[in-house]
Amino acid sequence: MGAKQEILLPDIGDFSDVDVAEVLVSNGTRVTAEQSLIVLETDKASMEIPSPFAGVIVEMKVSVGDRVSKGSLIATIETDEAAEPAKAPEPAKAAQPAPEPARPAEPAKPAAAPEPARAAQTRAPAPAADEAEPAESPEPEAESAILPHASPSVRRVARELGVDLRLVPGTGPKARITPDDVRGYVKSMIGKGTAAGVPIAGVSVAAPPQIDFAKFGATEIQPLHRIRKLSAANLHRSWVTIPHVTQHDEADITDLDEFRKQMKPEAEARNVKLTFLPFVIKACVYALREHPQFNASLDHTGENLILKRYYHVGVAVDTENGLVVPVVRDADRKGLYEIAAELTEISGKARSRKLSPADLQGASFSISSLGGIGGTFFTPIVNHPEVAILGVGKMDWRPVHRDGAFVPRLVLPLSLSYDHRVIDGADAARFTTRLAELLSDLRRLIL
């Protein structure tokens, strides 16, 4: 066992009180000396802060959105006995200007195909979870040991092009990934024409015109929050890469609502707010077990479906800075109260920007519930690399025809968007029909 050491923020020049823009490792990650731990970002510059030691991160002490200055405690690390501590830590590189836009169509060095070892990594649990979640999430835990070495500007270019950096062989010093590596990788993937494809690179649309709206009236420029920009990039990638279809259905939740009301006093006694969502999560897990292709991801080649044997449900949470999708892990093993309490906790953390990267990783299916706000059906965007997402609308009383007469029933609108490459329309209809059955009669959940 090595010694436990604190990693403090080194002198970063003229900056203080700087935003932590990315946390690149998590608790338990093995890092090499000089491996980047966090990315700091000011208005004009970003810089990576490397680990001065090799070893295993005991605890990351900063999260995305924290502000740090020289001497701030970044992490604690159990250093490798054998490894020599690096000299006094300094940022991986000097503050660098904001990234230049990706130069299109520049002759790029032919990139080597991803080596088998890297390809195999996509079969690890929670593949490409970093790309599934908007905003703050870094690479998934299981793959943190093989974090790609790349500057923030390269990461941004990769995000814009929808490239998973873990698949890009780096040709820079210490296998660092350069902008040319990213471009070369995109070119090579286009050449391969895999089922997964790299559609963004293949799509050509007219550039948006620059319009001076002030000509038409008063305007105000409001910079987009970083979370919104990052989730926008992920949503855009999902939108253009996944052939979406949305299946709409309705669940009669009259009995469920009655049961929920009966349970309210008990829930309150436990200090839990029992909304519809925990019931929907439980019903989804049940339906996912029966329809495993909905709890899956396409691998990066587009030739294999990775079925997940875990049920981690991402829940879209609306925050003032944009959408985040924290994850209720192992929802199959949790009871309604436990899920309800966790929902309150994670949505609270999301709104106060206290989510850790781990809270955002590894979802296998997602739910976006607008029921507390209003509206009926909508078309949620699949949270890549998942293949399906359920949208939940606001319940309402409807006349339902039963036994020759119209009776008032409480109806919950459901909208299931899915990746048509993986899921057929008939399967989607089966899934939502089953979901509606389960929500209509909760007794089915214990069968």
Residues classed as catalytic: 420
The SS3 assignment for 220 reads: coil
Report the alpha-carbon distance of residue 62 to residue 74 in Å, rounded: 6
143: buried, middle or exposed (CB in 10 Å: 19+, 13-18, 0-12)?
A: buried
- Residue closer to ligand CAO (CB basis): 15 or 378: 378
Give the single-character DSSP code of 446: G
Q: Are 393 and 367 in contact (CB under 8 A)?
A: no
- In the complex, the smallest distance separating the C-beta of residue 192 from ligand CAO, rounded to whole angstroms, is 33
Looking at the Cβ atoms of 111 and 317, the one nearer to ligand CAO is 317
Task: List the beta bridge partners of residue 406.
Answer: 401
* CB closer to ligand CAO out of 92 and 395: 395
**What distance in Å separates the CA atoms of residue 80 and residue 98, rounded to the nearest whole number?**
35
User: For residues 127 and 413, which CB has a smaller minimum distance to ligand CAO in the complex?
Assistant: 413
Contact 381, 238 (CB under 8 A): yes
CB of 282 to ligand CAO, least distance (A): 13
For residues 435, 440, 446, 447, the Cα torsion angle rounded to the nearest 10 degrees is -80
Rounded to a whole number of angstroms, the minimum distance from the CB of residue 126 to ligand CAO is 21
What's the distance, Cα to Cα, between the start and end of the chain in Å?
A: 50
User: Closer CB to ligand CAO, residue 372 or residue 399?
Assistant: 372
**Cβ-closest position to ligand CAO:** 371
Closer residue to ligand CAO (CB): 136 or 181: 136
Strands 388-392 and 365-369: parallel
Contact yes or no for 396/371 (Cβ under 8 A): no
Q: How far apart are CA 69 and CA 72, in angstroms?
A: 6
Q: How many CA atoms, within 13 angstroms, populate the side-chain half-sphere of residue 70?
A: 9
* Integer-rounded Cα radius of gyration of the chain: 24
Q: In what order do the strands lie in the sheet with 45-50?
A: 67-68, 18-23, 36-41, 45-50, 96-97
Shortest approach of ligand CAO to residue 323 CB, angstroms?
A: 5
Residues near ligand CAO (CB under 6 A) are: 275-277, 315-318, 323, 343, 347, 368-372, 380, 392, 394-395, 412
Task: Return the number of the residue (306 or 395) whose C-beta is nearest ligand CAO.
Answer: 395
Question: How far, in Å, CA of 211 to CA of 200, rounded?
Answer: 24
Q: What angle in degrees, to the nearest 10, is found between the helix axes of 336-351 and 277-290?
A: 110
